[in-house]
Amino acid sequence: MDPDSVKSTLSNLAFGNVMAAAARDYQKEVLAQEKAQASSSVNQEVDLDDLMDDPELEKLHADRIAALKKEAEKRQKLKMQGHGEYREITEADFLGEVTGSEKVICHFYHREFYRCKIMDKHLKTLSSRHLDAKFVKLDAENAPFFVTKLGIKTLPCVILFRKGVASDRLVGFQDLGGKDDFSTRSLEYFLLKKGIIDEKKREEEDDDYLEGGHRSVRSSVNPDSSDSD
């Protein structure tokens, strides 16, 4: 046999053996990785099972569910009492409304007064943001007894009630800068200082909420007309 041919054949056989060995090593490495991944997956499942059986974790979860349920029940109860909206009431409803909730904000207004319309706009915005207090309004002309009893002389007049007792009041806009273009935030801050509402985190701020008066309340009533009764 030709020596060169023999040499070539042996060389090819050697190369083939090397490739076969490399293939076997690669296969072993792939199997080892798959086994390691399978083992890791089993460990993860065991860890999750351990967590699910963790008494402290279960207690935290149960406490959270209970807190959410309690909060939902509280909100539902407040809504049933008229919270979460800005409603008009009558003189006959007045005592029941202000004594039926712990915190009540009542706006005594006149239908023709321009500044009462401005106050309405801001109170309506805040009523949906602050469920902790009840927001209502009462036509002063149709409630002479309580207007006299509460000593209301100037409108708009917002009276704050705690457990049925009038504790504070906002007369006109004198505590809001004295101008018609005060912001809803200014009124909210006044109510916060008086403790009649709680601070809430707002996820979104609209221009009207921040700037208030930049969107005027349109009315055929002359804004310079007298707002005192």
In whole angstroms, give the CA distance from residue 182 to residue 212: 6
Q: Tens of pLDDT along 35-58?
A: 666 555 545 555 656 666 677 777
| 5 has a pLDDT exceeding 80 | no
Q: Tens of pLDDT along 175-198?
A: 999 999 999 999 999 999 999 999
pLDDT for res 220: 35
Q: Which of 187, 72, 88, 183 is nearest to 134 (CA)?
A: 88
The encoded tokens of residue 66 equal 């209970």
User: Are 133 and 118 in contact, with CB atoms under 8 Å apart?
Assistant: no
| Helical (H) or strand (E) element with 135 | strand 134-139
Indicate the pLDDT class of residue 70, thresholds 50, 70 and 90. low
User: Among 76-85, 107-116, 126-135, 207-216, which stretch is predicted with the lowest mean pLDDT?
Assistant: 207-216
The encoded tokens of residue 229 equal 């009764």
| 94 has a pLDDT exceeding 80 | yes
pLDDT for res 55: 75
Q: What is the residue-averaged pLDDT of the chain?
A: 77
List of domains in the chain: 84-211 (3.40.30.10)
- Give the angle 167-213-190 at the CA atoms, nearest 5°: 20
pTM for this one? 0.60
Query: Is-cis flag, bond preceding 156, omega within 30?
Result: yes
